Amino acid sequence: MFELLGGGLLGSIFGGLFRLAPEVLKLLDKANERKHELAMFTLQTDLEKLRGQFKMEEKYVDFSTQQLDTIKSAFEEQSKTAQAAGKFISGVSALVRPGITWALFGMYAAIKAATLVMAFQTKTWDEDDFALFNMVISFWFVGRSIEKYQRG
């Protein structure tokens, strides 16, 4: 009787396990399939991000190329205009920006010099201030020269 009961019991247990095994494997397979789909989706989104970045880079390169072409055509046009105008006019034209720069620098220096003269006249900048200023400037510039000489 033990054999009949044991055999029947073991048979039932193994039969039930073998019947449940495919269902368990299907569940595990679905879980792996979901993980795989998630990984593929992540890779696809990363790929789309890269494609978007490459398109932005292409647009930037196209814009830069167009900008450089525009600058080139402007320089060519300026060169043709300068050649047609003659050497004197092109020389004057070339001196406009540096001339304005030097004029502004000259005005700035004149204002600073006038401020210094006024400071001396009103005694807000006296000999002691000037001596202190000279001491600081001499310390830094003469000190650098001495260090360079000592290094050799």
Domain regions of the chain by residue span: 1-86, 95-152
Residue 129 in this model has a pLDDT that exceeds 90: no
pTM of the model: 0.38
**Which residue from 58, 78, 76, 77 is spatially nearest to 66, judged by alpha carbons?**
58
22-80 per-position pLDDT tens digit: 777 787 888 888 888 999 999 999 999 999 999 999 999 999 999 999 999 998 998 88
Residue 137 in this model has a pLDDT that exceeds 60: yes
Rg (CA), the chain: 44
Give the alpha-carbon dihedral of 107, 109, 110, 114, to 10 degrees: 140
Residue 5 in this model has a pLDDT that exceeds 70: no
